[in-house]
A and B are shown apart, each in its own frame.
Chain A
Amino acid sequence: MNEYANTIEVAGLAKRFGDVTAVESVTFRIRQGELFGFLGPNGAGKTTTINMLTGLARPDAGTIHIRGIDCTRDPKGAQHLMGIVPDESNLYPELTGFGNLCFCGALYGMNKRHRQARARELLDRFGLADAAGRKFAGYSKGMKRKLTIAAAIIHQPQILFLDEPTTGIDVASARQIRQLIAGLNAAGTTVFLTTHYIEEAERLCQRIAFIVKGRIVRIDTVEDLMHQTEGRYVVEFAVSDKAAELCEQIQAEFPNLQCQAVANSTIRVESCEPVRVGPLVRSLEDRNAEVFEARKIRPSLEDVFVHVTGIEAGVMNKEKEKAKMGGGS
């Protein structure tokens, strides 16, 4: 194990804005080559944490070490090691895709020949070669996001910070970006990813920290987090409608089960024992509900998140909807 087995070491990080505590007592370590997820709802402190790690904000307390460099004392000291993808694509609208990449390369001291070759390589790799000569302002959201990631890795950083990289973009682009992130990590880049998409974190990350109201409530590997769901059984019933009303009645009749209406026509039933479907279906039908389907659900990271943080999945879902509509985070 070398001197910098932990690429990022954060201890007791805190940040306040006036009376509002944005981040408090945040402590974690990220190993070299790890893909680390920072998962939490909007306003949880994800962007503030990234800003402190990258030198865009000063912590009120705590320490940050990046590859041994004390970034609390010397915020500029580790910036050459980092690539940063902010939560909004912030390249220059008046420059072309190629021009933006070359300019970003120059900011990291790359000479002209090197940065032009690298820009061409990245435009090819990100499927943007045909748009290389077009101005950034004319790019679609997905293209902007991809070019912003390309700009962040133009200088081949050892650490990549991604703040909500797939928020507000179409499904195909988001999928492509996830593949790119996984590829970069497989090539050895340490990745710090903030997201409020639980499935994204589950699919990509090796370890995840749940952050709520500025505090980390749990850090673990995805496997260990999923162990929490062992011994839990979940069944979803598709009913005609009035799921909320039916849910209340079922809950009263079967107090050992945990019932939840997850949509107008879906009831979710959880238990520590295998769920007996027959009595539940009969009870629903006795209440004149039509039951179309009963399916066993594999507990997900979302269930773990809800269990650990106490935040209902609905809150995260609403944020997803807002983000899809362009609300962002």
Chain B
Amino acid sequence: MKPWIAFWNILAKDMRSYYLKPPNISWGLLFPLVWIVMFSIRSGLGIESLPSLLPGLVGLSILFGTTSVLSVTVTFEKKGRSFERLLLAPISLEVLMLAKTAGAILFGAVNAFVPLLVGSFLADLSNTNWATLVPAVVLIAISSTFLGLFIAVSVKEVFEAQTFSNFFRFPMIFLCGLFFPLEQLPVWLRPLSYVLPLTYGADVLHASIHRPEHMPLILDFGLLVAFCAVLFAVSLRNIRRKWIK
């Protein structure tokens, strides 16, 4: 048995069936662009404020890009019972779920580079530290995808997946330091920020593009990796408990 053949074909099928469909591609492009325009107008600071907005836009693009597609597709396949076919294949659950999430991770990471690409034409990004930014984008994509997986395993219906995703996503826009520093949050809300993985990703993104880091980068990266591991492990445990009864 060669698990990489199964892994690659699950990923390729998902890319063709979901992520490379025209509506998804256009959504993946439009979503970051709309956020750029909206925040540029709202901030009223003009184009020079773009570097300070970019980390938030990158974070949002990844978060929405990964969670919206993955949680819906897994729930959809589970409901249509085609997911059973994957569970019956002679590959480990770890390989199977990594294959199912790899498409969303790639999609989220590519989404992240839309605002960066647009930003590079409109603002001076020459001081950007790509060596920290790229790994941060990848880790945010992984943690957000695994959050999407956690959501998919927690619900039964496709509409529930969307609703439950928003339960996490919308508070994260404000709580993770994407557009304003955590210090501006009320003290009682701050503990909530520190249990959300995007907080640590946003800190690295800000540090890579326009300002010094809030926490040591090694801690940010370490916690992002830890969140990825915990979310994946919890999702696998829930799949074993709920779907292989």
Q: Label chain A's interface by main secondary structure.
A: loop
Within 8 A of B (CB), among A74-96: 75-76, 79-80, 82, 84, 86, 88, 90-95
Binary interface encoding of chain B residues 54-82 relative to chain A, with 1 for a CB under 8 A from any of its CBs, else 0: 00000000000000000000000000111
Question: Contacts A58-B245, A106-B6, A107-B6 known; A95 to B89 CB distance under 8 Å?
Answer: no
Q: Which residues of A contact B81 (CB under 8 A)?
A: 86, 88, 90
Given contacts A79-B90, A92-B13, A93-B80, contact A109 B245 (CB under 8 A): no
Sample of 20 A–B contacts (CB below 8 Å): A54-B88, A55-B87, A55-B88, A55-B244, A57-B244, A76-B92, A79-B90, A90-B85, A92-B13, A94-B17, A104-B85, A106-B9, A107-B10, A107-B86, A107-B90, A108-B6, A108-B90, A109-B1, A109-B5, A109-B90
Sorted from nearest, which 8 A-B pairs have the closest CB atoms? Answer: A106-B9, A107-B89, A80-B90, A79-B90, A90-B81, A109-B2, A109-B1, A109-B5
With an 8 Å Cβ cutoff, the count of chain A residues facing the other chain is 29
Would A58 and B1 be within 8 Å (CB), given that A86-B81, A88-B81, A90-B81 are in contact? Answer: no
Question: Is chain B's interface secondary structure helix, strand, loop, or mixed overall?
Answer: helix
Complex CA distance for A319 and B1, rounded to whole angstroms: 41
Q: B residues engaging A (CB < 8 A)?
A: 1-3, 5-6, 8-10, 13, 17, 80-82, 84-92, 244-245
Query: A103-B13, A109-B2 are contacts. A91–B90 as well, Cβ < 8 Å?
Result: no
What is the interface of chain A, defined by CB distance below 8 A to chain B? Answer: 17, 54-58, 75-76, 79-80, 82, 84, 86, 88, 90-95, 103-104, 106-111, 151
Report the separation of the CA atoms of residues A56 and B245 in the bound assembly, to the nearest whole angstrom.
Answer: 7
Cβ contact within 8 Å between B1 and A107: no
Instruction: Report how far A71 CA is from B13 CA in the complex, Å.
Output: 29
CB contacts (< 8 Å) of B91 on chain A: these are 76, 107
What A residues does B82 contact at CB under 8 A? 90-92
- Chain B residues within an 8 Å CB radius of A104: 85
